[in-house]
Amino acid sequence: MRNYPHPIIAREGWPFLAVAVAGSLAVTWWAGWPWALPLWLASLFVLQFFRDPGRDVPEAPNLVISPADGRVVAVERSRDPYLDRDARKVSVFMNVFNVHSNRSPVEGVIGDVWYHAGKFLNAALSKASLENERNALWIKTDDGHDITCVQVAGLIARRILCYVKPGDRLARGQRYGFIRFGSRLDVYLPLEAEVKVSIGDRAVGGETVLALLPPGAA
């Protein structure tokens, strides 16, 4: 399934790209290419940062897919601080060259949303999960599994965007948010989940399978 209801450049980036290109054009017109080159390079950076390609979302049952592009930096047993349970935690770190759209790892209904203000530590650090600015979703699957998906701001990320609320239903791979400029996504899974990735693996948001859920928890 190709879940892609928006242009190939994320709408969150349109104002940034417009300003960057307008500035580049103005300097090119008034001062010439040598002076404008740094601005055009900045425009290219903005363009690549806000790219948002469609993804082919796997349709097999019980899959948990990556909510973001990036590198897997944590696969561990942990305490889910939002649902107060022991869980398996998988974390994906996004650098400034990754796509920064965030997608639902599973299909289900949002039970709750929690926002916490916090610090802006390097998002690759484990303590960023509990100390940085973050926004968490509790997603209840149709089989009764509880999944917690947490957007975590990073060292230079200063804006977490989340477009859903309790009671909304998300399809697996559906785009629900965005983080600007370098961050991570934490996914807390039931202990029975079978994790399919390892630390250091590259994940593609909406496509890479992070884990398999056991059937029939409802």
Of the CA atoms within 13 Å of residue 10, those in its CB half-sphere come to 23
Task: Please write down the long-range contacts of 157-161, taking CB distance under 8 Å and 24 or more positions apart.
Answer: 157/120, 157/123, 157/133, 157/181, 157/182, 157/183, 158/120, 160/115, 160/133, 160/134, 160/135, 161/12
Whether 183 is a known active-site residue: answer yes
Question: First vs last Cα of the chain: how many Å apart?
Answer: 25
Q: Where does residue 34 rank: exposed (0-12), middle (13-18), buried (19+ CB within 10 A)?
A: exposed
Query: Considering 91, 126, 183, 198, which one is annotated as catalytic?
Result: 183
Per DSSP, the residues of 91-152 read EEEE-TTS--EEE-SS-EEEEEEEEE--B---TTSTTHHHHB-EEEEEEEETTS-EEEEEEE
What are the residue numbers of the active site?
183
